[in-house]
Structure 1
């Protein structure tokens, strides 16, 4: 005679030890990834801050350096705004 099939497993509300171990490993991997991302983000923020400081210093130096005195360009017309001015390019 054949044995009857085992009764279906009823959920007990508790995870098996294997599920608990897998969950713990997943949590540890996630924490490790998060810590790595946070470290990289911190480094990126430091690089951005240093770049901003260099830009600020460069701009300060540019304002302190007198521009060489040269003759104005022949096509420069004081009555018409240039392309880089708020009123737009010359017609």
Structure 2
């Protein structure tokens, strides 16, 4: 069976400056970052992902280390610029 690449490999968007290194997040780390970008709290992430609150905190900590941030707001900015932006109209009503 051939080896597969990491579950979620994100690269930075092309810029005029030097390229950012590739960041390889696990599938769960990517899911948690995506939910953080959507504005969910740790408790809401735990419920949505069927994880314990402590597992959520662990995934957040390891993801933050990999993407080079220390605060939630920085993770949101990173996620928005690296393809984790929430879908427009996701569940929104158009009355």
Q: Work out whether the TM-score is over 0.5.
A: no
Query: Which of 1 and 2 has higher RCO (CA within 8 Å, sep 6+)?
Result: 2
**Which structure's residues are more often helix, by fraction?**
1
**Between Structure 1 and Structure 2, which shows a larger proportion of strand residues?**
2
TM-score (norm: length of structure 2): 0.20
Taking structure 1 as the reference length, what is the TM-score of the superposition?
A: 0.21
